[in-house]
Amino acid sequence: MKHRIIVLGAGYSGAFAAGRLARRLRREDVAITLVNVAPDFVERVRNHQLATGQNLRRRPFAEMFAGTGVELRLAKVTGVDVDRKTVTVADVNGSGSAELAYDTLVYALGSAWNTQGVPGTAEHAHEIAGRTGALRLRKRLASLEAGQRVVVVGGGLTGLEAATEIAEARPDLGVALVARGGLGDWLSPKGRAQLRKVFAKLGITAHEHTAVTEVAADHVTTAEGADIPAAVTLWTAGFAADRIAGATTLEIAGTGQIVVDRTMRSVSHPDVYAVGDAAMAMGPGNKPLRMSCATGIPVAWQAADSIVARLTGGKLPNAPIRYVNQCISLGRTEGLIQVVTADDRAKPAALTGRPAALYKELVCKAAAWGVANPMFGLPARRRPVVRRRAEALV
């Protein structure tokens, strides 16, 4: 009987993990099923571009995984029973629900926007954590008249990229960003200076050291009681892990993420691996790895190679996961590449301007290419043989 591997979610982490497993294991030994609700790969790091009217290339999973042996199941995950080792799904074509059994599970259901419990956010704010939200915002932005205001709440990477993209695409609108801290206060002095330069060039108003306590249809209210007018509010103040894992007996962190060891294996259930935003993985300095594409692909690589090693009796990967830089697009012609330490703290060096924009574009294309070409590399004849199931995961 083949060893059954189910991968839940086909974002950067899930799709990359499924492809690497197919690349490194023999079809005679394993059955790999990739479960995802949408038929196309979504470049989440480009959702701010999608929201401003840019057309992105379609990447159908059916084409990406053709000939790999990976079975694509278009379905919504409705439940996971890690004790019975089953997954419950509802097929998107309306054919009903099904229960899928696994021997190894790769949990990659990712994250969604986090309203932080702020009143009115769910009812009145937009989000770009997913393709649906980005398209909804796209339609709303297209309907705005000149002079109307857009407020982006959240001063992290997503907020910075969204605010600058909107301001560049629609210079006739008033764009403001609200941040709890200082503008780019985690960046180096050179990085902060570049950020302020671009904000000034694009006419973006920055409300620094400001917390939003309520979102209404036409404004946001701050902790000081001030109202900031907003025809559109875009909420980018963090992400929250998918909630399905929290309903299982898996060990879960306070963030809702699955606690894993350095091989991305659940510390409570050894047949479950978590990758991407779903995983509470520790990096250099014993600091949690942040939710990002920069984290998602390396941990997916680590998980896939760990599964292969345990199934075939090979050597477990021991390369540490570390950061090198933070890549920030500031519209289509400006960018910021902040060099960081292994544990993600800013170093003095930073690349700015057009070269940084080109670098960021190259990184995005490389990440998408890596996901879209899962069989590039290791030839089939060199793939190791899986041991008997009874001893494979000991």
Q: What is the Cα–Cα distance from 203 to 183, expressed in whole angstroms?
A: 15
Q: How confident is the model at residue 390 (pLDDT cuts 50, 70, 90)?
A: very low
With CA atoms as reference, report the closest residue to 25 among 99, 104, 110: 104
Residue type, 6: I
The two tokens of residue 161 are 């990229």
Reading the block at residue 155, the tokens are 């001063």
SS3 for 253-274, per residue?
Answer: CCCCCEEECCCCEECCCCCEEE
Q: What angle do CA 155, 158, 164 make, to 5 degrees?
A: 80
CA angle 292, 247, 394 (to 5 degrees): 75
Residue 388 binned pLDDT confidence (cut-offs 50, 70, 90): low
pLDDT of residue 96: 86
Contact 277, 269 (CB under 8 A): no
Pair 2, 31: CB distance under 8 Å: yes
pLDDT of residue 291: 92
Q: pLDDT tens for residues 152-168?
A: 999 999 999 999 999 99
3-state helix, strand, coil in the chain (%, to 5): 30, 25, 40
- Mean pLDDT across the stretch 363-373? 89
Equal fold, 3-112+239-322 vs 117-182+201-235 = yes
For residue 378, is pLDDT > 70? no
Task: Report residue 247: phi and psi, to 5°.
Answer: -95, 5
Distance CA 243, CA 247 (A): 7
Reported as a single tens digit per residue, the pLDDT across 258-305 is: 999 999 999 999 999 999 999 999 999 899 999 998 899 999 999 999
Sign of torsion over alpha carbons 47, 48, 51, 54: negative
Our separate counts of H helices and E strands in the chain read 10, 21
CATH for the 3-112+239-322 domain, from 3.50.50.60, 3.40.50.720, 3.20.20.70, 3.30.428.10:
3.50.50.60
Given a cut of 70, whether residue 382 has pLDDT beyond it is: no
Contact 302, 106 (CB under 8 A): no
pLDDT of residue 124: 98
Return d(Cα 229, Cα 149) in angstroms, integer.
Answer: 7
Average pLDDT rounded to a whole number, residues 32-38: 97
Burial letters 332-356, b for 16+ CB under 10 A, else e: bebbbbbbbeeebebeeebbbeeeb
DSSP H or E run through 336 = strand 335-340
Instruction: Please check whether the domain covering 117-182+201-235 is classified as CATH 3.50.50.60.
Output: yes
Residue 377, pLDDT score: 58
Domain locations along the chain: 3-112+239-322, 117-182+201-235
Rg (CA), the chain: 22
pLDDT tens, residue by residue, 79-103: 999 999 999 999 998 888 999 999 9
pLDDT tens digits for range 222-262: 999 999 999 999 999 989 999 999 999 999 999 999 999 99
User: Residue 106: in which H helix or E strand, if any?
Assistant: strand 104-107
Q: Which three-class secondary structure state does DSSP give residue 314? A: coil
Q: What tokens appear for 265 in the block?
A: 């294996």
The answer on pLDDT for 61 being more than 60 is yes
Please choose, from the candidates 325, 45, 248, the residue with its C-alpha nearest in 3D space to the C-alpha of residue 162: 45
**Is the CB of residue 204 less than 8 Å from the CB of residue 177?**
yes
Q: Which residues pair with 232 in a beta bridge?
A: 150
User: In this structure, what token pair is assigned to residue 281?
Assistant: 């993985």
